[in-house]
Structures are given as C-alpha cells and as structure tokens.
Amino acid sequence: MQLRRWSRYRPGCPTRSWPCSAAACTTGLGAALNTAAVIPASGVAVIGCGGVGQSVIQGARIVGAAVIIAIDPVPGRREASMRVGATHTFDPAAEDPVEQTGGRGADYSFEVVGRPDRDDALDDALVLRLAAVEAAETVFRVAHQLRGAIGFCDEAALSWLSRYSQPLRRLPLGPSATLDLLTRRLGRRPLAGLFSEASG
C-alpha cells in the first residue's frame, strides 16, 4: 500500500472509529473538492453535520468558500461545525437559513443526512449481488452449452470451476434467497439508491 494512503491516529484512539473517520473524511472532502468542485468565494450549505458533513465543511474551507452554512438540529454538531470552518450555523427547526442569508442562499448545497429508517446502501448491495449471481449462473450455463455445441467433450476444467464456485455464488444467499430478502426489505416501495428510477 502506498504511504500517502495511510492515516495517522493519535495514541489511544479506539480502533473501532478508524474506518468511520477514514470513510467520512474521504466522502466529505471528495464531495466538496472533486464531485461538486466548489470554487473560491462561493456560498456552501451543508445539511447534516455528522462526520461526512464536517468533512464537506472542511473541504469548502480548504478551497476558500466565503460563506459556509452548517444546518443541523443537534447543537453539538453546529458548534463543531464552527470549529472546522463553518461561518454560519442554523437549527432547521427554529429558523430558515435562506431568510437568514438575505435570500441569497448558497451556490452549492450538500445533503448528508443519515436515514436511520432506511438503508439504501444495503438494498443496492443486494441488487448488485443478485445481478452478479444471475450473471454467473448464465455464464456457466452458456459456457457449457457452447463447449458442447462446438464439439468439445472434455468439460473437466469448466465443470470444476462451476462446481467449486457454487459456494461463492450460493452462500450466504443464493439467487432466490437474495431476491426474497430484497423483496421483504423493499415491500411495495421502489429502490431509492443507486438503482432508483431517478438515478437513471
């Protein structure tokens, strides 16, 4: 692994927080610096100031945004936002940030609100697993048929690969169980993550 990809943690920092802080930092900074490409002297609104939101605020500060608005109902998160670079903080239940900025609003807005009632990432992972397992089943079936159609009688290597890859394709969930779990999770609502109709 390249040295620049390592993160340094203070002594005594609990190891369970390492992946969370690394993921939050790269997600938030990447959103501000790369995805949105915030420009200097612009206005930025961050809705949700948890770990990812704090990193978006830092990214906006790094590029020199003139106004950085942190919007979160939790007072401690609003205070932390001011420490990492926010210029204004607002409680969404108590005040309207657009009114407070003289109607100007922001040039860039980031919604980084966790949804405890729904986990779209798990739904997306199940859809990807289902697609991958179905694709593997199709590839092995077609490969067997093609080898037979072109006159190859020795299918030992293909049979071996098919047989020994079955645990990977069927555990912990095979296609039917994956589809069943996904259907139970979704109920009648449509997908809302990567595979939603809105995402194309």
Full DSSP string of 73-104: S-HHHHHHHHHHT-SEEE-TTT--HHHHTTT-
pLDDT value at position 157?
66
pLDDT value at position 3?
47
Of the two residues 192 and 153, the one the predictor is more confident about is: 192
Q: Which CATH class is domain 22-111?
A: alpha beta
Q: Residue 141 is encoded by which pair of tokens?
A: 């079936």
Reference 69, options 121, 37, 111; nearest CA is: 111
Q: From CA 35, how far away is CA 32, in angstroms rounded?
A: 6
Q: Residue 33 is encoded by which pair of tokens?
A: 């610096």
Q: List, for residues 40-85, the tens digit of each pLDDT value.
A: 988 899 988 888 899 999 999 999 998 899 999 899 999 999 999 9
Q: Residue 67 is encoded by which pair of tokens?
A: 């106004």
pLDDT value at position 23?
67
Quick check: 8 and 25 in contact, CB under 8 A?
Answer: no
Reference 77, options 36, 9, 31, 24; nearest CA is: 24
pLDDT category at 94 given cuts 50, 70, 90 is confident
Q: List, for residues 110-169, the tens digit of each pLDDT value.
A: 988 876 555 677 777 788 878 887 887 787 777 767 766 666 656 666 666 666 666 666
Return the domain boundaries, the chain: 22-111, 120-186
pLDDT value at position 64?
92
